[in-house]
Amino acid sequence: MQAGHTIDAIILRVAGIMIDELKLEDITPETFDPDMDLVDEVGIDSMDLATVALVLRDEYAVRIDEDDYPKLTTIRLISTYLQNKLVEAA
Amino acid sequence: MKTVSSLLDEHWHDRYRKISRLNIRSSIYDVTNRCNLRCKGCFFFSSGEHQVAREETDIHQWEAFIDKEMDRGVNLAILIGGEPTLCLDRVEAFYKRLPTFCATNGLIKVPRDRFPDLMVGISLWGSREEETLLRGKDAFAISSKHYEGDPHTYYLYTLTPRQLGRIEPIIKKIRDVGVKVHLQLLSNDEGVDGFSWTPDELSAIRDEMDAMLDAYPDTVISSKYYHEVITTGKMMDRSFGWMECPSVTLPMDTRNPRPRRLTNFIRWASDLSTMHRCCTSETRDCRTCKDGAAHMSWVMVNKRAHMNTTQDFQNWIEVYEMFAKLYQFIPW
């Protein structure tokens, strides 16, 4: 696995992408709680997740299946999902 | 960062949780090109949509088509027409497969032994005089007998400027037959005299809609924020129009930048291959469109834009709840 593909690195990158793409204010990748519920607390919806998924696909060459959206409820879960896909592809 | 719990108390947060994961993905289907009425304000006939596609009549083709629609994620079928109840086999093909809403004029009763919990929305254009003027007959007199006390039915009451100050008796009649009502505004596609809105009339009808919601909260399914948005055409200082509408058929959506929109939404013609541009008439001026579902959806797809203040977010929740009730995703 590449150095940038440790779970902590992926979490930071996913948080950064989410902040940039969804224009979230007053938060940084470092302060974004990776276990915060994205729907119940951050208020994202499936369209937001689709936007983020597109950027992640370009960056990691991993496609997030739309059917998997409902279970990707935190940044940590998204990151773990990505990491697993990267391992499968390696 | 504004979070949900920083904006909502526990009561509102509970309400939010009940709708936040519904992930409603609707599309609209012209079930037939035919109708048993010819209403003057009906965009389907006034814009010639009933002539753009040859109606598919093979029920097996409909069934296969619906299966494909579900494969692309549709979880709410909104049936319009023409008059869908003229083709109950097609309505049934949807109903047996996924949550289905049937818009109807109510002249033909949906048999409840065959469709026990099909959500039915009955169009209503006002008083007996207005119904007669715009539709050729008082359809309410018939539909109210067919659906009295039906828990899966509501009236979709289209308000016109002529009804200013005259809404309450209609609401009372609906209450008395034991069904719900949702209010929307006429988009005067055919330019019928006296039925185009002026700014003052829109302001006055908004006040009246609010008053009806206050006076008949168990009958009127609505929200004051929805009244504000549909009468002003404004949401968070943005104006409704082509570049904002969420209800554009996805493969025909060439807008750049593309606004937030309904996921995978398509409005299909009755040949099951032709698509209409949007949820209403292609000939309509989007700047003056008053389509209720489009305005509701406009609010719904812009959730985070409403996460600025507690009031804004509560407004968003109320509109989403209204939509979820009207399509039976949550109880009345």
Determine contact: B273 vs chain A, CB below 8 A.
no
Q: Which residues of B touch A22 (CB under 8 A)?
A: 304
d(CA B329, CA B324): 5
pLDDT of residue A3: 58
Q: Do B263 and A46 touch (CB under 8 A)?
A: yes
Question: Is the distance from CB of B212 to CB of B206 less than 8 angstroms?
Answer: no
Can you give the three-state secondary structure of B202-217, one letter per residue? HHHHHHHHHHHHHHCC
Determine contact: A50 vs chain B, CB below 8 A.
yes
Q: Which residues of A touch B15 (CB under 8 A)?
A: none
What domain range includes position B178? 27-326
Residue B191: band (very low, low, confident or very high) from pLDDT cuts 50, 70, 90: confident
Q: Which residues of A touch B303 (CB under 8 A)?
A: 43, 45
Question: Is the distance from CB of B100 to CB of B80 less than 8 angstroms?
Answer: no
Q: What is the ipTM of this complex?
A: 0.90
- Ranges A32-46, B23-37, B86-100, B181-195: which has the least confidence: B181-195
CATH classification of the domain holding B298:
3.20.20.70
Task: Please report whether residue B10 resides in a domain.
Answer: no
A47 → closest Cβ in B20, B73, B301: B301
Whether this model's pTM surpasses 0.80: yes
Which residues 244-263 in chain B show a CB within 8 A of chain A? 260-261, 263
A28-39: per-residue pLDDT in tens? 999 999 999 999
3-class SS of residue B123: strand
Optimal mutation site among B262, B304, B316, interface A, most CBs of chain A within 10 A: B304
pLDDT of residue B3: 95
- Ranges B27-31, B226-230, B290-294, B320-324: which has the least confidence: B290-294
Task: Please report whether residue B280 resides in a domain.
Answer: yes
Decide if pLDDT at B140 tops 60: yes
Query: How far is B205 from chain A, CA to nearest CA, in Å?
Result: 33
Determine contact: A18 vs chain B, CB below 8 A.
no
Domain range A3-89, CATH architecture: Orthogonal Bundle (1.10)
Determine contact: A20 vs chain B, CB below 8 A.
no
The mean predicted confidence, pLDDT, of chain B is: 94
A41 → closest Cβ in B3, B263, B303: B3
d(CA B270, CA B82): 10
Query: How far is A56 from chain B, CA to nearest CA, in Å?
Result: 19
Q: How many structural domains is chain B composed of?
A: 1
d(CA A66, CA A53): 9
* Arithmetic mean of pLDDT, B260-280: 94
Q: Which residues of B touch A27 (CB under 8 A)?
A: 1
Sequence letter at residue A77: L
Question: What is the share, in percent, of chain B residues with pLDDT greater than 90?
Answer: 83
B198-249: per-residue pLDDT in tens? 999 999 999 999 999 999 999 999 999 999 999 999 999 999 999 999 999 9
Task: Please report whether residue B7 resides in a domain.
Answer: no
Instruction: Give B251-264 as a DSSP string.
Output: GG---SSPPS--TT
Burial class (CB in 10 A: 0-12, 13-18, 19+), B232: middle
Residue A90: band (very low, low, confident or very high) from pLDDT cuts 50, 70, 90: confident
pLDDT of residue B280: 87
Q: Do A40 and B4 touch (CB under 8 A)?
A: yes
Residue A4: band (very low, low, confident or very high) from pLDDT cuts 50, 70, 90: low
d(CA A39, CA B35): 43
Q: Where are the beta strands (DSSP E) in B170-311?
A: 180-185, 234-235, 238-239, 267-268, 275-276
Task: Please report whether residue B9 resides in a domain.
Answer: no
Task: Please report whether residue B75 resides in a domain.
Answer: yes
Q: Do A50 and B263 touch (CB under 8 A)?
A: yes
Decide if pLDDT at A1 tops 70: no
Task: Please report whether residue B211 resides in a domain.
Answer: yes
